[in-house]
Amino acid sequence: MKTIKTSIGRRSFIKRSTLASGGIMLSFNWLTSCDMTASQVRALPKEWFKINGFLKIGENGLVTIMSPNPEIGQNVKTSMPMLVAEELDVDWNDVIVEQAPLNTSVFKRQLAGGSQSIRQGWNSLRMAGATARAMLIQAAAQTWGVDANEITTSEGQLIHEASGKKSGFGPMASLAAEIEIPEEVPLKELSDFKIIGTSRKNVDGTKIVTGEPLYGLDYSTENMLIAMIAHPPAFGMQLKSIDDSLAANMPGIKKVFTIKTHLGDYGLGAFDNDAFNDVAVVVGNSTWEVMKAKEALKAEWELAPAKKEELNFFGRTATVETPAGLESSADHRMVFDKMAKKKGKVVRKDGNPDAMFSKAAKIIERTYTCPFLAHNTMEPMNFYADVTDERANLVGPIQTPEIMEGSVSKRLGMDKEKIDIQMTRMGGGFGRRLYGHFMTEAAVISKEMGQPVKLIYSREDDMTQGTYRPAYHALYRAALDEDNNLIAFHVKTGGIPESPLAANRFPAGALEHYMAEEWTEKSNITVGAFRAPRSNFIAGAEQAFLDEVAEAMGKDPIDFRLELLDRAEKNPVGENNDYEASRYAGVLKLVKEKSNWTGADSGVSRGTAAYFCHNSYVANVLDLEIQNGNPVVKKVYCAIDCGIVVNPDAATNLAEGGVVDGIGHAMYSAMTFKDGMPEQNNFDKYRLIRHGEAPKEIEVHFVDNQIDPTGLGEPPFPPIMGAMANALYKATGVRHYNQPFITDKPLAG
């Protein structure tokens, strides 16, 4: 039997019990069954017994499981408690899920990012459930005077077969809570799973469809004020002064002032976005009054100087330089052209690519670009803060509560122990809420007001604040010999201000002669992680280029990739290849089979792509038709290897979303600039994919294996962009190199 060492402290759940009452977070959650008929909801227990920081059991057998990580729509609030419930061996219908607050003494890595929640929680969450189960068994053994090894469990029942004794978890819970935590506990065999691997509905589903308060923007307390900020209209500008004479005297307005998000000697942390440090603040009684006063607020802006700042990225320090000036997208295109001609920094070189390119019979050279993107979570940035001299109570949508607690602590000069953070369900994340400047701002504003405030960004504030996906450029070259064999491969890629290169990913390792170069160019337009950072561009570019190479070689695009992967598996070039060629090939083979790759319906144009990122493998086949001059995605096949799938239907939903998101951004979305000003500030100018543009059908298949779960939030997003480009080419004969494709060249050829 597999066992796991426990690492939960007895007292861990007692710490931080001072969270403010009131508001939505402590309210009763529906049972996970989503059953809405009151008569069918089991009565809440009279008493809860905390077994450990992850769960408590009621005397009637109901179990409350804390979901540790922030929920941004990736469904961890359902799937993480499923892991606990599995090893506790409880009936899922007897489980209530609650969102845990930030509690670093109990939970590890309470962070939504990098597709890591399930991967990193896989052992610790099962351990929490298994530990509680072991303690319940001990309690039953003591009560019945039998050997603990003879007691089994099943769906919330303790059973001693020899004596015929049987009990629900409830009656044993109070004693179990007193049992010493075992040092090692057994884990189930995969074949014994009853919950993991079965589809369970979103635990917040009922609340979502009935409009109950769930999100940060929905949170309120009785004497709470509303705050909004005004930041400079352009990157490269800063606040000079404000004239509050009009705004401060408008109805419902309490105060107009300015704040510094970070103080001069702050030392930026990894997620302290610093686009606009000085902002104007309007505080009042209601959102509409504050919005109107904000419009009436007169502010003077001035050009910001270049700056140098010390960045502390989890202990690694670096000096970050931000240039002065007002940048335009036209300037960025010139940067692309300039840098593409210069030698980049060689990150990887195998064999002698220069020599091979010199003697090539044919060289294919193609250039790909993409624009900056705004995350555009549907719920704009916001946070609630109640800061006094003694305490700070912060509630809202944040992907990095632990890291931002450090930022708030530093800014307020307040010990972390005095700061409580509750995470609300988030109206989207996509990386945007890793950067919690809005939380720091809310705390500073509340302190200034001496009253609780909810800071709300308007859509315009949200879209024009920065933290964008960088603008990227990639130049690909392939050398073919006289027999159309691929003899060398070269990528030179860069971005403003970051490079998207992953030098050791496929096709590195599959080619004797390979070179990867990168470059970067500084900018004062601030960027941040955006769903599948770097991969969200380079995957599509690389997969579109490979399609063109395969065509030039006269090969089927899937077979071409499989041949390269076969080489990478059997006889890899270099030692530092960060993917498993067999799993990569596995998703391609699966999508080939499920899509009946060579048997497309007539009139349908097919494109394919595959990519590995965030520890998982995804391959697509995309079927497209041109109807009335418009591309219509008839069907997408998606094959995924992310190890064990915890909640299949929810995982399918996430993959479908990744497909739609990828097509949407490749086809329609862009953030452009004129003299430092974002040219898109709301959804009338910033185009997101809409209903009629989504694929008519998406079919998702998971590789069935017993590998511990890897990641799923990000991997389905990047490759579909390549599949879309490749299908468009098949349909129209025109290749699209510049995202968004809709502004690149006519879509219908």
Residue closer to other proteins (CB basis): 224 or 613: 224
Does the protein bind other proteins through residue 41 (CB under 8 A)? no
Closer Cβ to other proteins, 218 or 625, answer by number: 218
Mention every residue, 6+ apart, whose C-beta is less than 8 A from residue 413.
none
Question: What whole-number distance in Å separates Cα of residue 50 and Cα of residue 55?
Answer: 6
**For other proteins, which stretch binds (CB under 8 A), given 165-173, 404-412, 612-620, 658-666?**
658-666
Smallest gap from residue 180 Cβ to other proteins (A): 41
Which span sits near other proteins by CB under 8 A: 215-223, 314-322, 324-332, 441-449? Answer: 215-223
Q: One symbol per residue from 173 to 212: x for binding other proteins (CB under 8 A), - otherwise; what is it?
A: --------------------------x-xx-xxx-xxxxx
Q: Which is nearer to other proteins, 211 or 733 (CB)?
A: 211
Question: How far is the C-alpha of 613 from the C-alpha of 630, rounded, in Å?
Answer: 31
DSSP 293: H
Place of tokens 């009279």: 46
E strands, 77-156, are 95-99, 151-154
Neighbour-count burial for 261-280, b at 16+ CB within 10 Å, e otherwise? bbeeebebbbbbbbbbbbbb
Buried/exposed code over 220-236 (b: 16+ C-beta within 10 A; e: otherwise)? bbeebbbbbbbbbebbb
The smaller minimum CB distance to other proteins, of residues 216 and 497, is found at: 216
Nearer to other proteins by Cβ, of 156 and 436: the residue is 436
Enumerate the β-bridge partners of residue 627: 630
Of 645, 661, 711, 727, which one interacts with other proteins (CB under 8 A)?
661
Q: Is 219 left (phi over 0), alpha (psi -120 to 50) or beta?
A: beta
In the region spanning residues 59 to 88, those forming contacts with other proteins, defined by CB under 8 A, are 72-75
Asked if residue 467 binds other proteins (CB under 8 A), the reply is: no
CA distance 403 to 420: 13
Least distance to other proteins, CB of residue 690, Å: 6
Using the minimum distance from each CB to other proteins, give the nearer residue, 273 or 376.
Answer: 376
CB of 533 closer than 8 Å to CB of 713 = no
Q: How far is the CB of 664 from other proteins (least distance, A)?
A: 7
Minimum gap (Å) between residue 680 Cβ and other proteins: 12
Nearer to other proteins by Cβ, of 171 and 213: the residue is 213
- The DSSP string of 136-200 is HHHHHHHHHTS-GGGEEEETTEEEETTTTEEEEHHHHHHHHTTSPPPSEEE---GGG-SSTTS--
Residue placing its CB nearer to other proteins in the complex, 37 or 191 = 37
User: Of 286-325, which residues contact other proteins (CB under 8 A)?
Assistant: 286-289, 292
Q: Which residues contact 233 (CB under 8 A, 6 or more apart)?
A: 301, 464, 677
d(CA 673, CA 680): 8
Residue 168, interface with other proteins (CB under 8 A)?
no
Tokens of residue 617, six digits: 């493998």
Q: Tell me how far apart the alpha carbons of residues 543 and 539 are, in angstroms, rounded to a whole number.
A: 6
Q: Which two tokens stand for residue 114?
A: 């990098």
Q: Interaction with other proteins in 496-555: which residues (CB under 8 A)?
A: none
- Count CB atoms within 10 A of the CB of residue 112: 27
Q: Decide if residue 742 touches other proteins (CB under 8 A).
A: no
660 binds other proteins (CB under 8 A): yes
**Looking only at residues 370 through 429 of this chain, which bind other proteins when binding is defined by CB under 8 A?**
376-380, 425-429
Q: Between residues 514 and 686, which has the closer beta carbon with respect to other proteins?
A: 686
Which listed residue (164, 413, 692, 733) binds other proteins by CB under 8 A? 692
Q: Which of 53, 494, 643, 658 binds other proteins (CB under 8 A)?
A: 658
DSSP state of 629: T
Q: Which is nearer to other proteins, 289 or 744 (CB)?
A: 289
> In the bound complex, what is the minimum distance in angstroms from residue 454's beta carbon to other proteins?
10
Q: Please say which residue, 289 or 578, places its beta carbon nearer to other proteins.
A: 289
The residues facing 478 across adjacent strands are: 364, 489
Choose between 251 and 746: whose C-beta lies nearer to other proteins.
Answer: 251
Using rule CB under 8 A, residue 629 touches other proteins: no
Q: How would you list the strands of the sheet with 225-230, edge to edge? A: 253-260, 278-284, 225-230, 453-456, 382-387, 392-396, 419-423
Which residues on neighbouring strands pair with residue 468, listed in sequence order? 527
Name the residue nearer to other proteins (CB basis): 167 or 536.
536
Q: Which of 696, 704, 746, 749 binds other proteins (CB under 8 A)?
A: 696
C-alpha to C-alpha distance for 615 and 625, rounded to whole angstroms: 33
Q: Mask 587-626, x = binds other proteins (CB under 8 A)?
A: ----------------------------------------
In the complex, the smallest distance separating the C-beta of residue 433 from other proteins, rounded to whole angstroms, is 11
Distance in Å, CB of 74 to other proteins, minimum: 7
How many Å apart are CA 228 and CA 382, to the nearest integer? 9
Pairing mode, strands 307-313 and 268-269: parallel
Q: Should residue 634 be labelled a site residue for other proteins when binding is judged by CB under 8 A?
A: no
Per-residue DSSP letters for 630-687? EEEEEEEEEEEE-SS-SSHHHHHHHHHHHHHHHHHHHHT--B-EETTEES--STTTS-
Query: Should residue 438 be labelled a site residue for other proteins when binding is judged by CB under 8 A?
Result: no
Residue 213 CB, shortest distance to other proteins, in Å, is 5
**Residue 688 interacts with other proteins (CB under 8 A): yes or no:** yes
- DSSP letter for 693, please: G
What b-and-e string marks burial along 721-748, b requiring 16 or more CB atoms within 10 Å of the CB? bbbbbbbbbbbbeebbbbbbbbebeebe
Q: Which residues on adjacent β-strands are paired with residue 494?
A: 473, 519
Q: How far is the CB of 147 from other proteins (least distance, A)?
A: 43
Judged by CB under 8 A, does residue 656 bind other proteins? yes
Instruction: Tell me if residue 227 falls in helix, strand or coil.
Output: strand
Judged by CB under 8 A, how many residues of this single chain contact other proteins? Answer: 70
**Contact with other proteins (CB under 8 A) among 401, 664, 711, 718:** 664
Residue 418 exposed, middle or buried by CB count within 10 Å (0-12, 13-18, 19+): middle
How does DSSP assign 363-386, residue by residue?
Answer: EEEEEEEE-BB----SS--EEEEE
Site for other proteins in 418-437 (CB under 8 A): 425-430
What is the closest distance, in whole angstroms, from the C-beta atom of residue 73 to other proteins in the complex? Answer: 3
Q: Which tokens belong to 387? A: 């800061």
Query: Interface with other proteins includes 649 (CB under 8 A)?
Result: yes
Site string for other proteins, 123-162 (x = CB under 8 A): ----------------------------------------
x/- site string to other proteins, residues 1 to 40, per CB under 8 A?
A: ---------------------------------x-xx---
Task: Find the binder of other proteins among 181, 402, 657, 734 (CB under 8 A).
Answer: 657
Does 648 sit near other proteins (CB under 8 A)?
Answer: no
Q: Between 103 and 376, name the residue whose CB sits nearer to other proteins.
A: 376
Q: What is Dmax (Cα atoms) for the chain?
A: 83
Q: Which residues of this chain interact with other proteins, rule CB under 8 A?
A: 34, 36-37, 72-75, 199, 201-202, 204-206, 208-215, 217-218, 220, 226, 251-252, 286-289, 292, 376-380, 425-430, 456, 458-459, 649-650, 653-654, 656-661, 664, 682-684, 688-692, 694-698
